[in-house]
Amino acid sequence: MDKYINTPITEQVTKELKAGDYVYITGTVYVARDAAHKRMIEALQRGEDLPIDIKNSTIYYMGPSPAREGRPIGSAGPTTASRMDKYAPALLDLGEKGMIGKGKRTKEVIDAIVRNHAVYFAAVGGAGALLSKCITKSEIICYEDLGAEAIRKIEVENFPAIVVVDCEGNNLYETAIKEFASL
């Protein structure tokens, strides 16, 4: 089912999303990969504040290619989410509601999704040129020294994604594969 949603994503929204829904996301989204996640978790361990407003936030796992002149961003497709698995539960427990990436998640992450009524979306891997067209603004907000891995705040408009793990823990990667398996 096609759905149009806006960020920040609240619990009221995630409760309506089901694994397999095709969504178009509009609003502010943070961008971070594993190096940035590692730093955020280290900051928390030192008792410091996070550099982003985590409550009801959506984090897109992505490291763009450099922008050409006149464009907000370069190629901007999802990276493999499992590299963030070690860090995601702590952020979900602090209020992160949406994650956009690609690929399987661990049981610990799925448990944290259910516990916090969050959602995991997949964007299409290897469609970085197409997805960059849905990003209207991009600014680096911290960890600039990480280059392509710095944390960014971006504005997206009708960004296409698919609900893979919904707030009840239903996992499209498992159910959809079974439907088409014939070996």
Partner 1 sequence: MRTVNTEILIQNIKEMCIEANHYLSEDMDEAMKKAVSTEKSELGKKILNQLQENLKIADEDMIPICQDTGMAVIFLEIGQDVHLEGMAIGDAVNEGVRRGYTEGFLRKSVVGDPLIRENTKDNTPAVIHYDIVPGDKIKITIAPKGFGSENMSRIFMLKPADGVEGVKEAILTAVKDAGPNACPPMVVGVGIGGTFEKCAILAKKALTRPAGEHSEIPYVREMETEMLEKINRLGIGPGGLGGTTTALAVNINTYPTHIAGLPVAVNICCHVNRHVVREI
Interface residues with partner 1 (CB under 8 A) are: 20, 22, 35, 62-68, 71, 74-77, 79-80, 82, 102-104, 122, 124-133, 146-148, 160, 162, 164, 172-173, 175-183
| Residue 126 CA from chain centroid, whole number | 16
For residue 174, give both structure tokens.
């498992």
**Smallest separation, CB 183 to partner 1 (Å):** 4
Nearer to partner 1, 20 or 27 (CB): 20
Among the listed residues 27, 25, 21, the one whose alpha carbon sits nearest the alpha carbon of residue 2: 21
Maximum alpha-carbon separation in the chain:
52
**Smallest separation, CB 146 to partner 1 (Å):** 8
The helix (run of H) or strand (run of E) holding residue 114 is helix 107-115
Nearer to partner 1, 2 or 49 (CB): 2
Nearer to partner 1, 8 or 20 (CB): 20
Nearer to partner 1, 36 or 54 (CB): 36
CB-based contacts of 137-142 (< 8 A; 24+ apart in sequence):
137/72, 138/31, 138/64, 138/67, 138/72, 138/73, 141/30, 141/51, 141/52, 142/51, 142/52
**Smallest separation, CB 113 to partner 1 (Å):** 16
Nearer to partner 1, 93 or 157 (CB): 157
**Smallest separation, CB 153 to partner 1 (Å):** 17
**Smallest separation, CB 27 to partner 1 (Å):** 21
Q: How far apart are CA 136 and CA 76, in angstroms?
A: 12
